[in-house]
Structure 1
Amino acid sequence: MSIQHALLTSLLERPSSGYGLANRFDHSMGYFWHASHQQIYRELGRMAQHGWLAVEEQESGGGRRRKIYRVLEAGRQELLRWVAEPGGSGNADQALLIRLRAEAVLGTRVAGRELQRLIDQHRTRLELYREIEQRDFSAADLTHAQRLQHAVLRRGILAEESWLRWARETQLLLVEQG
């Protein structure tokens, strides 16, 4: 997932100074994806160089000036492109959260395809975990080591079940909007 797309999303929600954006990021997207303030400032500069952002200097009191960043049409188009493309395998679940938030700002209806792709992946993983559980941990006389191994597997099963419940709820939200 690109920090640039998360920042574009946040700036489309509200143009901001780098400092204000970094603080908002910490209290929203930062809960599930971390970026340092230094990284945010560096990316804002790159995005401005790409022509995705306009930078306006404003008086901030005491003779100090601050830069306010606003998304340009080229930045909006980049975010639209990214939201519509299939995700990779790395941080696909986290990227989906940014895609959904971007979709809310952009008013598009394309993130459902990525959600379905990830649902299929999580279902496959859950089926595998359940097969392993049935095959390796169905005996009544498991050793202590086996019970601990089963506990680890159960954590994976519960995580997949929870993710799939959330995804079904989110799918319903996407259907409501369409």
Structure 2
Amino acid sequence: MSLPHAILTALLEKPSSGLELTRRFDKSIGYFWSATHQQIYRELGRLESEGYIRALPSEQPARGQKKSYEVLPAGRDELARWTSASQDPRPMRDTMLLRLRASAVVGTAGIETDLRRHLDLHQRQLSEYEQIQKRDFPPGKDAPQDRLRHLVLRAGIDLETFWTQWLTHALDEFEHLDEQSPAPEAVLETAPEAVPDAVPEDVRE
């Protein structure tokens, strides 16, 4: 997903000002596609200049008044084009997994503490997602739009469930590891014994 398409999605759901949009990102789309407030405002200007959105007319224009934006037909068409296009899944890149692999050769100092911190963060995020699910998707709320939005939330719940389970397993493994040991020393190659200089052949008289 790209930021302009995330913004088009949010504005099609509800026309909003830049400030309202940043707040909505923080509470919904930002969970799976984060962006700074500066990035959002910059992208709004770009989408407006490209004819994908427009600022809603105000009956009482005033200096400093927040502009609200809505999506134009060209913006809806672009979002539909992007949604229907084929995309490959992104390869996984996770710093913690790389650090864990590296700890196998340089030692595990600090890793276990950070694993516990990550576990706490994922448990908190999982709890937050479950509260959102209980609040926003009660039994019987099964309109097509709601089912699709719930599906996105379920992805977050399943992902956080995976990480909490994996981190718990990782910490259990650490309990069975020997105490931290220094990194294995490089094996020095034994230098070959010096070969004596060849003895010159006797010179015949």
TM-score, length-scaled by structure 1 = 0.48
Who wins on radius of gyration, i.e. which is larger? 2
TM-score, length-scaled by structure 2 = 0.42
Structure richer in strand, relative to its length: 1
Structure richer in helix, relative to its length: 1
